[in-house]
Amino acid sequence: MKARRIGVVMGGTSAEREVSLRTGRAVADALASAGRSVVEIVLDGGVDTVEALRAARVDVAFLALHGRLGEDGCIQGLLEVLGVPYTGSNVLASALCMDKAKSKELFRLHNVPTPPYYVFNAEGCADVEEVHGSFGFPVVVKPRREGSSFGIAKVDNLPALARAIEDAQNYDRSVLVERFVAGKEISVGILDGRVLGAIEIAPKTGMYDYHAKYTAGVTEYFMPARLPPTRYRGVLNLAERAAQALETSGAVRVDLLVTEGQNEYVLEVNTLPGMTPTSLLPKIAAEAGYSFADLCVAIADRASLSVGATAAVEESERATVAAPLPAIALAV
């Protein structure tokens, strides 16, 4: 079935609404520039999501949502019920990737290294010192189910930990406390199961938090990542294994840490990565030969349903969109 009309779904009610709107508008403009019929579907608390999707009469939903109700399997489940093919991973994979604790459980089952952690739940866990025990410092505190680095903090002592947990609980009552690992921050882009490359993220000061992500000039990016060839291939291989462990599909970004020694750790897998021209995945895809518009079209053309029919464009169109991928021998 040819994707005649693409609905770019953006906005939502999560803390990442503004990021989603930027992503959605950039994607809509790129798809329109490629000659696709596009309609913007902006969701918020006052919009009936079912009616908005039905009224748009789209053949495909391009998900530009971020955060809760967008990345966690909820909108994916609704689109399955409505029979509208959508971009990104299916319901289960989306839910697992949004939940940092569940992701880590699966990483460990699949022998994918990830920093040690524990979960602090508001219910029944009043004593931070008792729960933290001998876990040590420094640690990174994160809301269990949130993105764009909202509510994240690095702390070095118990009073700071208690404050950071309280702050993180403004986003999620369940909080992940993760051992801090010093190293290079690396993101790997994957499209339809194929690894595109790895970018290095180097904040000029502090952590790669919300400010560092979305403020011009405060972070440097190196594409490809500044790693020896063997390490580079190992990072790509590890990212691929992490994405496979969570059974993701479509466009995926895997975030990792690479230490000065011989260790790599997976932090998380993002099933709906940011999609402005300056976001990480488009930067990685550009190195692999995709323009921003080509990347958006390629993602839209892979929209599908987990059950039943899939949405795709004609094979001739698909061939013109997909740029050749670099020949990379992945380490096993």
pLDDT of residue 277: 73
The pLDDT value given to residue 308 = 54
The pLDDT value recorded for residue 68 is 83
Which domains are seen in the chain, by residue range?
A: 5-88+293-321 (3.40.50.20), 116-179 (3.30.1490.20), 182-286 (3.30.470.20)
Q: Give the pLDDT of residue 214.
A: 66
The residues annotated with a catalytic role in the active site are 16, 148, 214, 253, 255, 268, 270, 274
Q: For residue 24, what pLDDT is reported? A: 97
Positions in the chain short of pLDDT 50: 1, 3, 309-332
Q: What is the pTM of this model?
A: 0.87
Q: What is the pLDDT of residues 22-67, one digit of tens each?
A: 999 999 999 999 999 999 999 988 778 999 999 999 999 999 999 8
- What per-residue confidence (pLDDT) applies to 196? 98
- pLDDT on residue 148: 57
pLDDT in tens, 217-248: 788 999 999 999 999 999 999 999 999 999 99
- Phi then psi dihedrals of residue 16, to 5 deg: -95, 20
